[in-house]
Amino acid sequence: MNFKQLRSSLFIIIGIVAFGTFGYVYVDRMPLFDSFYMTIITISTVGFSEIHPLTNGGRVITMVIIIASISIGGYSLAMVVRVFIEGELKKSFERRKMERQIQDLKNHFIICGFGRIGRIICDELREDGIDFVVIEHDETAIQELESKRYLCLKMDATSEEALITAGIMNARGLVTAVRSDANNVFITLSAKGLRPDIFVLSRTSDVKNEEKLKRAGATRVVSPYYLGGRRMAQVLKRPTVVDFIDVATMGNKLGLIMEEVMVMPGARLIGKNLIESRLRQDFGVIIVAIKRPAEEMIFNPMPSETLKARDVLVVLGKHEDVSRMSQILTP
């Protein structure tokens, strides 16, 4: 809204009131309060009669007040209406644009809830350039989401309509991060009913509800309070280990990351062992583990371990080196 123009209009109206008040006092010798009252009823055009007979000079003042007040009043009203309409149109346009962007998303994540946990998840995904949609019904949270330019829907995440609108049929996974464990269970059931194969990461406030969420269909269940307590205990017992994990998994000045990379079918390294692949020599990465479908994870694999299609390599290295390495693991 253009507050400078509104402020100018207010000053002009005050000037009109002052002009009329002192004009009637000077020209028609009215008492100050009567002059002020006469000016107000003239500006408001309520149609009251003159409280004192007016001279020609007083009538001229009245005409000037009427013309000026109607002009500035009409201008101010038109400006307020224009700003309101433009604001609503802008919101409507941005809302439709966001809905189109959501419809075009594929292989994205759906985040249900934008509380303390949801904020951290969204910020992490945005930092890595991963697409996501947030479903939230709280107006304050929606305003924050819009200010951050996060794709969001003001809907109830427990409804199937909200999940469908968020693109669950094309989504890569779903996160239930609302405060109520009961709502997390309901969202999980709704999501699995629509997409039985979708990955669901659920938050629980009470570890006792972990099994309930898994029975509802959650792929993984995380208890932030339980994990936070365990991490604090580990800092006390094994501070160096915790520092290493932070360096490997969190943002750090060394630029190291621990990442997972899948060996895609058709990659030229399939059938070669770790020595023959030269991943360590050519990219400077460390193969921490190999996870194969329906098999246990192989930690610290031997150099003779053979790479197979759909192996997931857990690697530690610099971000740019891991990115280059992932390119040769695709056909």
**Chain segment 117-171, per-residue pLDDT in tens:** 999 999 989 988 899 999 999 989 998 998 898 999 999 999 999 999 999 999 9
Residues 215 and 121 in one domain: yes
CA 191, 193, 199, 202 torsion: positive or negative?
A: positive
Cα 185 from chain centroid (whole Å): 23
Q: What is the CATH number of the domain that holds 93?
A: 1.10.287.70
Q: 237 in a domain, yes or no?
A: no
Residues 111 and 92 in one domain: no
Q: Total domain count for the chain?
A: 3
pTM of the model: 0.64
- Domain termination residue (choose one: 79, 98, 117): 98
Residues 152 and 88 in one domain: no
Residues 267 and 213 in one domain: no
Residue 153 contacts residue 165 (beta carbons within 8 Å): yes
Residue 81 contacts residue 74 (beta carbons within 8 Å): no
Structural domain boundaries enclosing 80: 3-98
Residues 223 and 261 in one domain: no
In 10 A of CB 98, how many CB atoms? 17
Residue 5 pLDDT > 80: no
| Helical pair 224-237 and 239-249, crossing angle rounded to 10 deg | 130
Q: Closest Cα to residue 260, out of 311, 209, 200? A: 311
Q: 198 in a domain, yes or no?
A: yes
- Give tens-digit pLDDT for 168-224: 999 999 999 998 999 999 999 999 999 999 999 999 988 889 999 999 999 999 998
